[in-house]
Amino acid sequence: MSKKILVTGGCGYIGSHTVRELQRQNYDVVVFDNLVHGHLAAVEDAPVIIGDLLNPQEIRRVFVRHPDIAGVIHFAAYLEVGESMEQPGKYFRNNIQGTVNLLEAMLDAGVKHLVFSSTCAVYGTPERVPVTEEEPIKPESVYGASKRMAEQVMEWYDQVKGIRFTPLRYFNAAGASFDARIGDAYKPATRIIPVLMEYLLGQRERFFINGDDYPTPDGTCIRDYIHVDDLATAHIAALDYLWDGGESMAFNIGTGRGTSNMEIVDMVREVTGRDFEVEFGPRRPGDPVRIWADNTRAREVLGWKPRYGLREIIETSWLWHSTHPDGFG
């Protein structure tokens, strides 16, 4: 079997780390990216085809040029929750229609294995933690809904066309490569760790935490932060699972441990040796109090487990941001 993998959105944050891991494991990689949020500099030693999934012919030509593609890892999507609520059409059009165009191109090329970059946002505010794959699906944002709808599209293509797929519903991606060659270059930063890095580098005047009155030990909300390199290995494990005959199945990808916003602050102070002021603002509407993954299924079925914790996340984030204050710019 050919080991050539197409990675859509492979110039983005998680995509580029997955490309590097694929290369480390001796897969051939082809990247397809529209570079709206991706960076050519994030990919080395792999062909990058610039194109948009909303143009069906552009993605079809990739499979014609590379007829030995054996599987697809699909990252290409818009991902900002706030923006999705302001511009729902942008998210439904890109995240769903783009996926349909990819699936149709895969059908024409006879490619039947797809790993999908999904999200824990499909669960909305969970009824129980840790969150299992049996948690009710009730997204609370257009972004989360668009990802769930894309999963449903794949379910039908599995049922009527035989394309097997694994949606990886991961939690909070964080960290950077250990050699600081690639990292989270998304601008403007919206997630707490890169925002905090920018603050320490003098790129922000103030640092806010939204809410200090949650019913948690330190009053701040709790999330599951997983190192981006661990996400990369999960995608490859999922692809190998499909190649070995695995059925279409969703997997939660997280560490299985919750970390509060103040625990992040404390670890950043410890790793960087810097003290800094933290300001508190009101809670953001819709923010769950606590959410972290039950990763039992991924451990048992995929044979995957996370290798890194919060310290490695902060250490690699600080190394990346302090050596690349302007990202890839």
Q: Using CB atoms within 10 A of its CB, is residue 300 exposed (0-12), middle (13-18) or buried (19+)?
A: exposed
Active site residue 143: yes
Q: What are the Cα distances from residue 305, in Å, to 164, 184, 232, 300, 301?
A: 22, 22, 11, 9, 11
Distance of alpha carbon 7 from alpha carbon 58, whole angstroms:
14
Q: Collect all residues with Cβ–Cβ distance below 8 Å to 152 and sequence separation of at least 6.
A: none
Distance of alpha carbon 136 from alpha carbon 120, whole angstroms:
11
Task: Find the catalytic residue in 13, 78, 91, 143.
Answer: 143
Distance of alpha carbon 248 from alpha carbon 245, whole angstroms:
9
Query: Which residues face 227 on adjacent strands?
Result: 174
Distance of alpha carbon 36 from alpha carbon 77, whole angstroms:
10
Residues in the chain: 329
H helices of the chain, in order, are 13-24, 56-65, 81-86, 88-92, 98-109, 142-161, 192-200, 228-243, 261-272, 296-297, 310-323
Active-site annotation, residues: 143
